[in-house]
Structure 1
Amino acid sequence: MKKYIVFVLFLSAFTALQAQDLYPEKFSDCHQTRFSFCLDCGDPKASYDGDLVGYFNSVFKKSARKMSGKAFVQVIIDSAGHQCVKSLQHDAGVDVRKLRLKDEINAMTGWHAAVKKGKPVSSSRVMVFSFADGDLSISFRDFDSKNTKNMLSVGKVEISDPSKYKNNLNDKLFHVYTTQNSKVPWDMSRSVSIDQDGTVFQGTDNGIVQVKDGVMTVINQGNSGLRGSNADGGRTTTVMASAVDAQNNKWFSGGYAV
């Protein structure tokens, strides 16, 4: 677990990075004391009771007809079914300020909490607003863990377990990122490297987590030139070591993939 602790320690230096924000435009309305949540968890997942496209077409009216592109909105739905926009991102074709997406979503009623082990839980979901040719479509961006390995939490973080890790560190000063509250695809780190621009690269058994300007991006065999591991039919990429050279090139190696 020592490498995982190093990752947590390193990330704590980035004061702009807030735990559980998926997108660069962040909001502080969702207070952590009220919204302690997991990422896209539950069976069933959090959902809206109604026609989302019809609802937002009536809200947007004519303002969205000339738009094209997508907007991604991370919404927290607490265990009581109350929603709150946590972060968002949009491309150049969508002016979210005109649509007032944050305010409109926060004013909605009719959300249902996710259910986990038979009990309602607070979770976040990503709503994808797609605008094309005057039409609007809305979908949810799911973070599916079924096709990854070692997805479950590996246990208690050692920094907060004095019986295993004796030190004077205060765990309240650190943001702890796990598979339950972020895009991190595995709860242990194989490697951590920092390039000359301050970008973090965390190697895991499920690919690389890039942390740039406070935003996490998972790089794996599905969206890059990384090769999958022979051990599981190429479904995942195990990164065992990483380095950054003098020219700021990034190097990664794994058990069956390089």
Structure 2
Amino acid sequence: MRKTLFILFVSLTLQANAQNLFPVKLENCKTERFCLDCGDTKAGYDENEFAKLQDKLNKELNLQGIKGAVKFQVLVDAKGRACVLSHTDQSNNPISLKIIEELNKLKKWTSAITSGKTEEKASINLIFAVSDNKISGKIERVDMKAFNKSFDKPNSPEIYNKIYEYKNESLKNYKITVWNSNNSNLPNNMNDNITIDKNGLIWLTVDEGLVTFDGKEFKNAEQNITDKGRFFSYYALATDNSNVKWVYGTKNIYSFDNIKWTKCDSTEIGIDGAYEIVNNQKTGEVFFCSDEGLTIYKDGKWTNINKSKLKALPSNRVTFAKRDSKNRIWIGTFSGTAMIDENNQVTNFENTNTILKGKCITSMDEDENGNLYFSLYEFERKEKGKVNNDEGIAIRYSDGTFKQFTTENSGIPFNHTNCVVYDKNEKVLWISTDRAGLVRYDLKNGWENYHNENSEIPTSYISTMTMDGKGILYLATRQGLVKIERK
């Protein structure tokens, strides 16, 4: 009787943080930032060691009558270590599990190199095929043109809330304008970061690029002091009180004072990258969130907050931070959320019974009454592979109490939220998601959900958003730039 090993399933449509190419995600990799099959010299493996791996698989596995193939996405770091990030075998066949085990044990991987610098992390794809009772593996390089093209179409929204009835009565009150590569000179539709400067100029990261938009025309705005090589991308973006733009590009922090670009010396500031850059308007501080803790820039001086200075901090791996109106710093790390009060006392919410326990805050906004709004990420998920996790948003009311809103107790359509923005003019909270589009919450009982199948918003994937001084909301999406304004 002929046996089938598995069915090859390929999906190049990324979800969540654009990290996993294949449908079966593994939890053993630290995947906060990496590039896909990048580099002048791409990541790979020592041929002799890989040949030994194949020989071991052929000796230890029973491959009689088996035929099929599986693809594996492998993350290779700067030290030549690797781990399997995702794969295509949704049946989790024992043969696939054995391949994963051996790939994770393989020592001699070669790192990706761009412009003479080793990439911190890069993913490559391997395909293992079984034929004639023998297994063989090889690297399958990513066709970047086909890969990028696969993004340039909207996914259908995934609405996990099956109880709430969305009437969307406020939708008629908004004018929605979309700029994309078809109706404007926007270079491409992959927009992940956005800021609006003091002159009303919009700055937007595009795939491997940086542009400005004055409402009519997009212009290239990339820094001109670094040889970018074949792969160079921008990952974080903010405008400070002096109208200086701060950008994290590959391996460097840059600033632009509207006259010239400056590359920050990583030995001086202590970091060479950031997950997020956040401007604190009331204090004039710029926060840089990175693996080295929270780095703060103010009045030309750099300081750092980390576990060596504050032991109660859950982790040095800070993904988001912001001050509130009471001068408290709220910090989200990959190991939990913390708050530093005005007396420098730290509350680690992993040591509390609040709804922030087990959660990392990923964005924050505040209303005129001192209520705080957070988007949440569950960093230790109870059910591996679950999509609609225990996340949603949280509100910390001015009296110190918390409340969490999810698909089970509210009108949120999907629990993974990317960003929250409070609109002081309408007294509503805007919430972005990466599968269900945009959410409008009136802070009472009214929830509305706008996406590409019920509105002019062109996508269900919204990377982030920001609001200008006139109350106009801008969305950075995988289908271009979106403006939402009251009619």
How high is the TM-score relative to the length of structure 1? 0.51
Could you tell me which residue of structure 2 aligns to residue 154 of structure 1?
Answer: 209
> Structure 1, residues 25-50: CA drift from partner, whole Å, max 9, x if none?
21222124xx6311100121111112
Could you tell me which residue of structure 2 aligns to residue 87 of structure 1?
Answer: 86
Q: Distance in 2 between matches of 1:18 and 1:146?
A: 20
The alpha-carbon deviation at position 132 of structure 1 amounts to: 1.6
Give yes or no for the alignment of 1:172 onto 2:169.
no
Evaluate the alpha carbon distance shift between residue 134 and residue 124 of structure 1 in structure 2; reply closer, same or farther with a 3 A threshold. Answer: same
Tell me the secondary structure at the aligned position of residue 90 of structure 1.
coil
> Structure 1, residues 101-137: CA drift from partner, whole Å, max 9, x if none?
2221111111110111101112000111111221323
Q: Distance in 1 between matches of 2:235 and 2:78?
A: 25
Q: Is the 8 A contact 1:193 1:201 kept in 2?
A: yes
47, 61, 64: which one aligns with 1:63: 61
Percent of residue pairs identical: 25
Evaluate the alpha carbon distance shift between residue 62 and residue 108 of structure 1 in structure 2; reply closer, same or farther with a 3 A threshold. Answer: closer
The alpha-carbon deviation at position 172 of structure 1 amounts to: 3.4
> Structure 1, residues 199-228: CA drift from partner, whole Å, max 9, x if none?
x677xxxxxxxxxxxxxxxxxxxxxxxxxx
The alpha-carbon deviation at position 61 of structure 1 amounts to: 1.6
33, 37, 42: which one aligns with 2:39: 42
Count of matched residue positions in the alignment of Structure 1 and Structure 2: 168
Could you tell me which residue of structure 2 aligns to residue 124 of structure 1?
Answer: 123
Q: Which has the higher strand share?
A: 2
Could you tell me which residue of structure 1 aligns to residue 134 of structure 2?
Answer: 135
Tell me the secondary structure at the aligned position of residue 47 of structure 2.
coil
Within 5 Å, which residues of 2 pair with 1:216-231?
Answer: none
Q: Distance in 2 between matches of 1:65 and 1:113?
A: 32
Q: Is the 8 A contact 2:76 2:109 kept in 1?
A: yes
Q: Is the 8 A contact 2:23 2:88 kept in 1?
A: yes
Evaluate the alpha carbon distance shift between residue 134 and residue 194 of structure 1 in structure 2; reply closer, same or farther with a 3 A threshold. Answer: farther
Q: Is the 8 A contact 2:128 2:135 kept in 1?
A: yes
Could you tell me which residue of structure 2 aligns to residue 225 of structure 1?
Answer: none
Q: Which amino acid aligns with 2:144?
A: S
Tell me the secondary structure at the aligned position of residue 126 of structure 1.
strand
Q: Which has the higher contact order (CA 8 A, sep 6+)?
A: 1
Evaluate the alpha carbon distance shift between residue 96 and residue 119 of structure 1 in structure 2; reply closer, same or farther with a 3 A threshold. Answer: farther
Could you tell me which residue of structure 1 aligns to residue 143 of structure 2?
Answer: 144
Could you tell me which residue of structure 1 aligns to residue 111 of structure 2?
Answer: 113
Q: Distance in 1 between matches of 2:58 and 2:239?
A: 50
Q: Distance in 2 between matches of 1:161 and 1:167?
A: 10
Q: Is the 8 A contact 1:43 1:115 kept in 2?
A: yes
Q: Which has the higher helix share?
A: 1
- Give the aligned CA root-mean-square deviation in angstroms: 4.0
Could you tell me which residue of structure 2 aligns to residue 179 of structure 1?
Answer: none
Could you tell me which residue of structure 2 aligns to residue 193 of structure 1?
Answer: 452
Q: Distance in 2 between matches of 1:175 and 1:130?
A: 38
| Residue ranges of structure 2 left out of the alignment (5+ in a row) | 1-14, 149-186, 189-205, 211-233, 246-277, 282-319, 323-360, 364-416, 420-450, 462-478, 481-487
Evaluate the alpha carbon distance shift between residue 166 and residue 77 of structure 1 in structure 2; reply closer, same or farther with a 3 A threshold. Answer: closer
Evaluate the alpha carbon distance shift between residue 160 and residue 129 of structure 1 in structure 2; reply closer, same or farther with a 3 A threshold. Answer: farther
Could you tell me which residue of structure 2 aligns to residue 25 of structure 1?
Answer: 24
| Residue ranges of structure 1 left out of the alignment (5+ in a row) | 1-15, 177-191, 203-238, 241-258
> Structure 1, residues 139-171: CA drift from partner, whole Å, max 9, x if none?
222223368785952325787556689999989
Tell me the secondary structure at the aligned position of residue 29 of structure 1.
coil
Tell me the secondary structure at the aligned position of residue 193 of structure 1.
coil
Q: Distance in 2 between matches of 1:88 and 1:172?
A: 27
Q: Which amino acid aligns with 2:100?
A: K
Could you tell me which residue of structure 2 aligns to residue 185 of structure 1?
Answer: none
Q: Is the 8 A contact 1:64 1:131 kept in 2?
A: no
Q: Quick check: which has more Rg, 1 or 2?
A: 2
Tell me the secondary structure at the aligned position of residue 106 of structure 1.
helix
Tell me the secondary structure at the aligned position of residue 172 of structure 1.
strand
Which deviates more from structure 2 when the two are superposed, residues 77-86 or residues 151-160?
151-160
Q: Distance in 1 between matches of 2:418 and 2:80?
A: 26
The alpha-carbon deviation at position 68 of structure 1 amounts to: 1.3
Tell me the secondary structure at the aligned position of residue 59 of structure 1.
helix
